[in-house]
Chains A and B, each alone.
Chain A
Amino acid sequence: MSMRPRTFRTPALVLKRRNFGEADRLLTLLTPLHGKFDAVAKGARKPASKKTGHVELFTRADVLIAKGRSMDILTQAEMTNPYLPIREDLIRGAYANYAAELLDRFTYDSDDTYTTTLFDLLDTTFARLCDDDDPRRVIRYYELRLLDEVGFRPELNECVVTHEDVQPTDQFFSFDGGGVVSPQGSAHSAGLVSLPVVTLKLLRHMQRSAYQQVGALTVQDSLHSDVERVMLGYITYILENRLQSIAFIHRIRQFNS
């Protein structure tokens, strides 16, 4: 854990915000060097506040933080990227909620172990959610990168039971084992879910490739749904409960279809 100076300037992404006191906002910020922490933006709910629009949810801002007696205080803020399409499109916004919630759940306050990578990952993901025509592809790629960083990289190349290389046929996935289980290994395991070979191939491609290559793929809806089934199952297993934002994504999808 880093020792933070009494005042410091840092780029920050606003992960969460809630009303606090008379006219203040309590923000959860993700920063590249000091990790995730809460800071109070005093008076941010007043219309003429100099901070209010600069610390909107899921924006990136340059902020000045001062150490308060019990809480950090955000004394200045200047928005550097509003990620406007996330705010103007319901489904992109719903995925941004999911991305922020996922990162929030996998990190601890003021833990600076992975912060630069995680900050860059979320920042790039918000940018991709703004520009990419397929937000689901952006999110699946993000999930795999995030799991890599926090130590839950799914094993997709060898069977987690037999430790043999995975063959290009339909396989199983073990949430408990954190990876692929071959048909031979499945006899010795319980609680497996199916992993069709096309789903496995897409996951492996996403896990090993740069986003430029993944972004060039056109993924069919049915394949997206299957990859999502496996990834959400695995993530829910690790976190031991379902993420709140998933229900909203499903709702919006039903709504749009």
Chain B
Amino acid sequence: MSNAIPEPVTKLIEALGALPGIGPKTASRLTYFLLRAPSELSTNLADALHDLKTKTTFCSNCGNITVDDPCPICSNANRDHRTIAVVEEPLDLIAIERTGTYDGAYHVLHGVISPVNGVGPDDLNIAQLIKRLTEGNVLEVILATNPGMEGDATAMYLRGELTQHSVKITRPARGLPTGGDLEYVDTVTLMRALQGRSEM
């Protein structure tokens, strides 16, 4: 980068540019925006970034991101800890929580089996899940990984790993999305939606 740009500016451009989805142009725009914005905004952002790493941890039980260990969901006695929804990422957990219809526990894998990208079962939070099944009184495991090739492979792998435990293993239903258009739906989704149709 040119010497005409002061070092603190180039440092921030490079730091922001390392974030996913942010290219050099966006990184520069954000940097110059912060440069002109009130210093309170930069201070708040810096504090938030600092707290993100110093005040959060992974829940030792479910792997979710939390301030207190165990996380509020794992320590909530009103939730049904006999049902565990296995999700790929903490964001998937939030998506399920938003529905307001699930009151069970979670388990975050922190990834998905992706042989092409070199991610195997040992890179995921699977051992802790098995430990939970061995120790706890779990009746059902919902394999809520994403419905794609890698999510399906992870679910199939987990099903194999979990069959030795006497738990019910389920997978969320698949079908047509709200607001979707039947003519644009792919054949596999449509086929599964028809197979899983329900009486009304």
Chain A window 25-57, contacts with chain B (Cβ cutoff 8 Å), 1 for yes, 0 for no: 000000000000000000000011010111011
Interface of B is mostly: helix
Rounded to whole angstroms, the CA-CA distance of A82 and B121 in the bound complex is 25
The reply to whether B115 and A97 form a contact with Cβ atoms under 8 Å apart is yes
Which residue of the partner chain A has the closest CB to B186? A53
From the candidates B21, B153, B188, name the one contacting A93 in the complex (CB within 8 A): B153
Contacts of B117 in A (CB 8 A): 18, 244
Which of B116, B150, B187 has the most chain A CB atoms closer than 10 A to its own CB? B116
Contacts of A86 in B (CB 8 A): 149
State whether the Cβ of A194 lies closer than 8 Å to any Cβ in chain B: no
B103-158 residues with Cβ-Cβ distance < 8 A to A are 113, 115-118, 120-121, 148-150, 152-153, 156-157
Which of A155-163, A166-174, A219-227, A247-255 faces chain B? A247-255
State whether the Cβ of B179 lies closer than 8 Å to any Cβ in chain A: yes
The reply to whether A88 and B113 form a contact with Cβ atoms under 8 Å apart is no
Contacts of A100 in B (CB 8 A): 116
From the candidates B118, B161, B181, name the one contacting A50 in the complex (CB within 8 A): B181
The reply to whether A97 and B160 form a contact with Cβ atoms under 8 Å apart is no
State whether the Cβ of A112 lies closer than 8 Å to any Cβ in chain B: no
The reply to whether A50 and B184 form a contact with Cβ atoms under 8 Å apart is yes
Which residue of the partner chain A has the closest CB to B181? A50
From the candidates A48, A244, A256, name the one contacting B116 in the complex (CB within 8 A): A244
State whether the Cβ of B180 lies closer than 8 Å to any Cβ in chain A: yes
Rounded to whole angstroms, the CA-CA distance of A21 and B150 in the bound complex is 19
Instruction: Report B193 CB to chain A, min CB distance, Å.
Output: 11
Residue total for A at the interface (Cβ-Cβ under 8 A): 39
The reply to whether A47 and B116 form a contact with Cβ atoms under 8 Å apart is no
State whether the Cβ of B178 lies closer than 8 Å to any Cβ in chain A: yes
Which residue of the partner chain A has the closest CB to B184? A50
The reply to whether B189 and A58 form a contact with Cβ atoms under 8 Å apart is no
Which residue of the partner chain A has the closest CB to B159? A90
Other 6 A-B pairs with CB < 8 A, given A82-B188, A244-B115, A245-B116: A18-B117, A48-B177, A93-B149, A94-B115, A98-B115, A248-B115
Between A and B, 15 residue pairs with Cβ closer than 8 Å are A19-B20, A47-B180, A48-B178, A48-B180, A50-B184, A53-B189, A54-B186, A57-B149, A79-B188, A97-B116, A98-B115, A100-B116, A247-B118, A248-B120, A255-B160
